[in-house]
Amino acid sequence: MIKILIVDDEQSAGRILKVLLEKHIPGDKKIEISNKPAAALELLETFKPSLVMLDIEMPGMNGFDFLNRASQWDFDVIFTTAYDQYAIKAIRFSALDYLLKPIDIIDLKNAVNRHIVKKQSASESTQQPLVENLIYNLKQKDFQQFKLALSTSDGIFLHNPHDIIVLEGSSNYTKFCFSNQKSIIVSKTLKEYEDILLEHGFLRVHKSYLVNKNHVIKVDKEAVLELSNQMHIPVSRRRKAEILQWFNQS
């Protein structure tokens, strides 16, 4: 059984989300709704949810304030929000789940199922360092200062994007190579990180490579990139003209 706490100051939004969960998420579950964040903090102690579905924009105490005041972090969190580009970017950089309102059924199923799989694997909640990173990111005046949270089998690592030289994708895994010569592997696709890092100076030069433009030392006439870590990365044929033009202009 999973226990889900919905925290949303709009009563109708909370009720709709509860109906969607009851209708589309199979298995035993208990669901509580609170439209007052202060009361929801008490429910963390008494109801003890394993999953909190948390609205971001709430008067008096927004979703981030709510998490800051939680005395325990033994639950996963899925944010629910209307479109807020800056907040969503901060959430994605922190490797946390979010749902846009109005909530899409497939997105809801996928987000809750990720929690269920994690719960069934009996792994401990890793939300606290991710939420702490989210709060750090939200305090930055410029998203270029965001830190990227990477969850691996060895733990959670936080990195500044400018320290990443290249990402190499293989199936559902992505290898990160850093300026300190270290590398880590994350179980997410390269496409997910392309979407996140596009505004941070990264170029998709090949189906398997996402390169930090600031770490490109040289581009030869065959459009092979020499990187600051001495790696040589080929540019795909269909991207060759675009990449050569970009570097010739820069």
pLDDT 10s digits, 197-248: 999 999 999 999 999 999 999 988 788 999 999 999 999 988 888 877 777 7
Map out the domains of the chain as residue ranges: 2-139, 159-249
Residue % of the chain over a pLDDT of 90? 74
Between 45 and 128, where is the model more confident? 45
Return the minimum-mean-pLDDT range out of 82-86, 90-94, 111-115, 173-177: 82-86
Q: What is the mean pLDDT of residues 132-161?
A: 92
pLDDT for position 238: 87
Q: What is the mean pLDDT of residues 148-163?
A: 93
pLDDT for position 125: 59
Residue 4 DSSP code? E
Which tens digits make up the pLDDT trace of 107-130?
999 999 989 988 877 556 577 889
Residue 84 has pLDDT above 80, yes or no: no
pLDDT for position 123: 58
Question: Residue 212: which H helix or E strand, with range?
Answer: strand 209-212
Architecture of domain 159-249: Beta Barrel (2.40)
Q: What is the mean pLDDT of residues 141-150?
A: 94
Q: What is the mean pLDDT of residues 60-69?
A: 91
Specify the length of the chain in residues.
Answer: 250
227, β-bridge pairs: 216
CA distances to 1, 67, 104 from 31, rounded to whole Å, are 11, 19, 19
Residue 154 has pLDDT above 80, yes or no: yes
Residue 249 has pLDDT above 70, yes or no: no
Q: What is the mean pLDDT of residues 143-158?
A: 92
Of 193, 202, 194, whose CA–CA distance to 225 is shortest? Answer: 202
The CATH homologous superfamily for domain 2-139 is Response regulator (3.40.50.2300)
The pTM is what?
Answer: 0.85
Residue 71 has pLDDT above 60, yes or no: yes
pLDDT for position 242: 80
- 3-state helix, strand, coil split of the chain in percent (to 5) is 40, 30, 30
Residue 76 has pLDDT above 80, yes or no: yes
pLDDT averaged over every residue in the chain: 92
Residue 250 has pLDDT above 80, yes or no: no
Q: What is the mean pLDDT of residues 11-21?
A: 96
Q: What is the mean pLDDT of residues 161-165?
A: 97
pLDDT for position 37: 96
Of 119, 82, 112, whose CA–CA distance to 97 is shortest? Answer: 112
Of 187, 134, 196, whose CA–CA distance to 164 is shortest? Answer: 196
Q: How distant is the alpha carbon of residue 62 from its chain centre? A: 19
